[in-house]
């Protein structure tokens, strides 16, 4: 059996967006998962999915930690950005953070998977509206996808990973 290709995945988003819950869903789909204990709000999980070994870097999303995001950009194969679709109060802030990420040189051309999370909530903004608000439709320098999901219910995550597997270079 061929060893699976390793991918470096960065999972970002504001605090409370659901990053940890997404990771938990990914991890629950298989037996073994390695968890490096968080130092100052980041941890790396290795999960096997779609014939890949995914090394997923989960960095804290709190405002004070966001300046450190850039130290983890180098060598990223796929960027996953998790949005709390029901957090209207912080939708602008979320869009600004994403937009700044998309301007980073070290992330140029890296495929973007946006999880429009918490779609189980009545107030959740639909994915097409989020895509429009974040101006994803005008992105021409990378592949992108917005995937509605409920990490809490485990819905939509696998579909996102399917897209990722097909679109990683």
Q: Give catalytic residue positions.
A: 62
User: Is the CB of residue 92 less than 8 Å from the CB of residue 100?
Assistant: no
79 forms part of the interface with ligand GDP (CB under 6 A): no
Q: Which of 7, 25, 61, 69 binds ligand GDP (CB under 6 A)?
A: 61
Least Å distance, CB 17 to ligand GDP, is 4
- Was 26 annotated as part of a binding site? no
Q: Which residue among 7, 9, 10, 18 contacts ligand GDP (CB under 6 A)?
A: 18
Q: What's the CA gap between 143 and 121, in Å, rounded?
A: 28
Of 3, 151, 156, 145, the C-alpha closest to 78 is 145
Question: Does 117 sit near ligand GDP (CB under 6 A)?
Answer: yes
Residue 56 within binding range of ligand GDP, rule CB under 6 A: no
Eight-class DSSP state of 82: E
Question: Can you give 53-73 as a three-state secondary structure string?
Answer: EEEEEEECCCCCCHHHHHHHC
Whose Cβ is closer to ligand GDP: residue 13's or residue 111's?
A: 13
Q: What are phi and psi of 49, to 5 degrees?
A: -155, 140
Site residues (vs ligand GDP, CB under 6 A): 13, 15-21, 61, 117-118, 120-121, 150-152
């Amino acid at each position: 059996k061929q060893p699976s290709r390793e991918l470096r995945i960065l999972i970002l988003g504001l605090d409370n967006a659901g990053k940890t819950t997404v990771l938990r869903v990914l991890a629950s789909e298989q037996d073994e998962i390695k968890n490096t204990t968080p130092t100052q709000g980041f941890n790396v999980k290795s999960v096997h999915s779609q014939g890949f070994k995914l090394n997923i870097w989960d960095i804290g999303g709190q405002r004070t930690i966001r300046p450190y995001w850039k130290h983890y950009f180098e060598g990223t194969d796929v960027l996953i950005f998790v949005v709390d679709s029901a957090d209207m109060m912080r939708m602008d802030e979320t869009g600004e953070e994403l937009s700044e990420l998309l301007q980073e040189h070290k992330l140029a051309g890296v495929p973007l998977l946006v999880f429009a999370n918490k779609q189980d909530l009545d107030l959740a903004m639909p994915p097409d509206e989020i895509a429009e608000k974040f101006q994803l439709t005008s992105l021409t320098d990378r592949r992108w996808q917005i995937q509605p999901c409920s990490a809490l219910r485990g819905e939509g995550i696998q579909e996102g990973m399917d897209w990722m597997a097909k679109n990683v270079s």
